[in-house]
Structure 1
Amino acid sequence: MSQSRATLGGILARRIAFFALFAMLLQLAIVFSDYYWNVGELSRLFVEQETERLAAGITVEESSIRYRLPDSVQQRYHKGDSGYVARIRAANGALVFQSCDAACEDRFLPTDVNPPDFWLRSLVPGKPLSLVGGRAFVIANQRFLVDIATIGDPSDIMSDVLWNEVIEHLIVPMSILLVLVLGGTLLSVRQALRPVRAAADAADRIDPMDSRSHLDFDQMPREVAHLAAAVNRAFERVGELMMSQKVLTSGIAHEIRTPLAALKLELGHIDDPRARRAEADLDDLVNFVAQLTALARLDSVDHGMFEEVDLVELTSSVVAQLAPWVYENKHSLEFFSQVESTIFRGAPSLLRDAVRNLIENAVRHTPDHTVVIVCVGNGTIAVEDRSPKLSPLHKSASSPPDSLGIGLKIVGRIVEIHQASFSTSRSNSGHIVELDFR
């Protein structure tokens, strides 16, 4: 989803570029209409740009003036019948360049007149342009007067004039503005979204089973911080729900255990073999209810209860606690540790339940005198029953559900909560169930 959806920076860039281009087109229409219908302004720009092109060919050396017609105006002023004429004079009246005969001199200013810096006269009103004008230039501390004239503008220089104005007053400034605005906007968005990106990465790492989980929104913009605060409130409500579910499951377990204990007490007063069988069935029922309650309680586990646990110490304490019960059921229990200690972060009560369930299952579903071996390795706990007969612990999936199946579900859920692995295998002398917390 993150790859298919557009980024906020991309959306802003496209929209800014779209509206900037729209503004440029609108301004282009305004500039074009303003200049196109203003013949006087077009004529002034025509004289300014054309005389500047002609003046670019003047070269002043120590005691001489040289002129070479620029390539950009070569076609217009090389021949006298092109519709364009020009004359360039020095300050002392010396002729530098001329592309017309004596007849066109009548259109220019007389040589005995002190020329102004700029002059313009329209020959025929309207378009195409027909005009005569001139402009003074100072090159190498010498003053030159460039005069030009056109009749009908046959080469459509007016279009070049319009295009130069569009480039100079529209495209260049608008492009600079677009780059600055777009770059500044993207940079601002990137900086503003930096804490949001960090919060998104933190949200990916959030444990929904940990009521202490929250998002830090101190550096976020106000609008995004409001969303982060709402997420934190949602996690607080989840924590409250988990706590209420714990209370509910504990209450259910207490309410069921009490009448069962009373029933067992009453059966103890009856001296009859059937009462003994009923007590055994009642014990199985008590164990079944306890497993159901434990399985329901696992759905509301809070990872905030996790702490550093020594698996060797924890497993040995469970073995020591269950040893008398194992011997009473005509089984034997052995404990081995391949390491002195192995530290793991988890919930001690849940880990004890997992080991206890595995040992109890191995005792309940194997023949008498079976040896149950509990071995702790580097981040692993293995429970093996050394019995030549096939244990119900490893029945196929088609076997009918019983308390053993619920016990394994409890173990599997505990392993899943701790993000560990759970595997069963057959050995030469029995069956092995291994919990791997590495």
Structure 2
Amino acid sequence: MPTEARRPLGRIVALRIVLFAALAMLAQAIAVIVEYGRDPEYLSLLALEQETDALAAGLTHSGTRVSYQLPTALDGRYGTDDSGYVARVRTASGVVLFSHCDDACTRHFLPLDLNPPTFWLRVITHGYPLSFAGGRVIESGDQRLFFEIAIKGDTQHVVWEVLADEVLDHMILPMSLTLIFVLGATLISIRSALRPVTEAAEKAEHLDPLSPDARIEEAGMPREIAQLAGAVNRSYARTRELMNAQKLFTSAIAHEIRTPLAVIRLELERIDHPAAQRATGELDELGHFVEQLVTLARLEASDRSGFVPVALDELGRDITGTLAPFVYARGASIAFEGEPGPTVLGHAALLKDAARNLIENAVRHGGPGVSILVSAGPGAVLTVSDDGVGFEPGAGEAPHYRRAGGLGIGLEIVRRIATLHGGRLEFARIAPHGTRARLVFTAAGEVTPAR
């Protein structure tokens, strides 16, 4: 799965919390509407409180004098004839400050000469739409003012405004604050709980399965994460056991085959026949394969703790001189060029094995009369180039030399040696023909980038 497609666990949990909180809010809103809808008298009481609060916004004071102007927002409701909504504002002594009510609706209100109660409500028609009359005393400064309203039919749907305010004030705002605190606490808890996982992942990225102490520390981890770390540690232990068994098996087979091959070759050399000569050549190929198995076994047993600085120019010059007789005996040529350059932390014998395999591949598969150039640099790079037939890169695979026959584990050995030394093996085609193989390392003293 690509890295950009992965979402952090905190984001996943946060989105789910928000989703379920929204669903809970929706469910509670529906429950509130249903519950309130069963009690129209209670909704009438809430509507009376809401409407009188809105009407009270029109009060103004000038010293001890109180005046009233209907708020513009309510003009379409209490300032229009035949709207079904009427209101009256008066003092406790009966002085009317505002009235939008004819003689017919006055009967729904209390008499002006009556000292009004703090709150009163009378249902005109039960059920929906709301039809009620009521009044409420509101303190303004040092005066008590009495607001009375009557609603007949609720044509402007005051009931829905009441329900919306109830849902907003008593459910959405409190639940939103709770959600913010819960979400914040959850994200902080997740981040804290996952910190050991992040640290374990960083350690696992740099674990060497060949190292006997390669493991993730389980101390201080939550139980579930410690179980995962323990499973990883046991997996590494099994991997080491399998690699050790493979190493022993490979090494044992290689050493057991060497002696019979040498005996068979001696016997074939005594036979003067073309078939015997062809068999001798095939035995040489098999012997070469056995040598590679021995190299592979030695590679798998390598310990990085014993690495020392190795000068690439000296290594290239040395391996070129060592293999020159082999190269010229097969009709090819070899040369070295390079200047003193960076050193590489590594195992000199293994690095020579890598260079030897690249040179032997060029001789064996480059074609008749191939010319080989070994070079060191620029930088921590060792290059083996030839002007042979080149290679054919497979679809989606690393390139392999063209060859007639051959058992071909040499390049795999080179790749493993490069990886062991924190480097890589690169191939390129040389125009018009030929191959360039490069061993690219990190110079001694530099930090190898994480891969």
- Count residues in correspondence: 421
Confirm or deny: 8 A CA contact 2:381 2:440 kept in the other structure.
yes
Alignment map for 1:144-163 (pairs within 5 Å): 144-163=145-164
Deviations 1:282-327 (A, max 9, x none): 994784354242365378466746724313455566678x499879
Q: Is 1:116 paired with 2:123?
A: no
* CA 77–354 in structure 1, closer or farther in 2 if over 3 Å, else same: closer
Q: Is 1:53 paired with 2:57?
A: no
Distance 1:54 1:364 in 2: 101
* CA 173–411 in structure 1, closer or farther in 2 if over 3 Å, else same: closer
* CA 244–349 in structure 1, closer or farther in 2 if over 3 Å, else same: farther
Q: Which amino acid aligns with 2:404?
A: P
Residue 116 of structure 2 aligns to a residue whose secondary structure is coil
Confirm or deny: 8 A CA contact 2:373 2:384 kept in the other structure.
yes
Q: How far 1:57 sits from its partner (Å)?
A: 0.6
**In the alignment, which residue of structure 2 is the partner of 1:346?**
346
Residue 146 of structure 1 aligns to a residue whose secondary structure is strand
Q: Is 1:436 paired with 2:424?
A: no
Q: Which amino acid aligns with 1:142?
A: Q
Distance 1:432 1:87 in 2: 101
Q: Which amino acid aligns with 1:122?
A: V
Q: How far 1:167 sits from its partner (Å)?
A: 2.4
Confirm or deny: 8 A CA contact 1:86 1:98 kept in the other structure.
yes
Alignment map for 1:20-419 (pairs within 5 Å): 20-79=21-80, 81-101=82-102, 104-197=105-198, 199-200=200-201, 214-215=215-216, 221-259=222-260, 284=284, 287-288=287-288, 290-294=290-294, 296-297=296-297, 300=300, 304=304, 307-310=307-310, 311-312=312-313, 314=315, 322=322, 338-340=338-340, 342-357=342-357, 376-378=376-378, 379-381=380-382, 399-401=403-405, 410-411=413-414, 414-415=417-418, 418-419=423-424
Q: Which amino acid aligns with 1:243?
A: N
Cα-Cα RMSD: 4.9
Sequence identity, in percent?
39
Q: How far 1:69 sits from its partner (Å)?
A: 0.6
Residue 150 of structure 1 aligns to a residue whose secondary structure is strand
TM normalised by structure 2 equals: 0.71
Distance 1:349 1:113 in 2: 114
* CA 164–409 in structure 1, closer or farther in 2 if over 3 Å, else same: closer
Distance 1:364 1:168 in 2: 85
Specify every segment of 5 or more residues in structure 2 that has no aligned partner in the other structure, as ranges. Answer: 392-399, 442-451
Specify every segment of 5 or more residues in structure 1 that has no aligned partner in the other structure, as ranges. Answer: none
Confirm or deny: 8 A CA contact 2:390 2:402 kept in the other structure.
no
**In the alignment, which residue of structure 2 is the partner of 1:421?**
426
TM normalised by structure 1 equals: 0.73
Distance 1:426 1:21 in 2: 65
Distance 1:289 1:105 in 2: 114
Q: How far 1:59 sits from its partner (Å)?
A: 0.4
Confirm or deny: 8 A CA contact 1:108 1:132 kept in the other structure.
yes
Distance 1:383 1:87 in 2: 103
Confirm or deny: 8 A CA contact 1:83 1:153 kept in the other structure.
yes
Deviations 1:194-253 (A, max 9, x none): 554555566566666767655566675432342233123212221222222222222223
Distance 2:171 2:130 in 1: 24
Residue 56 of structure 1 aligns to a residue whose secondary structure is helix
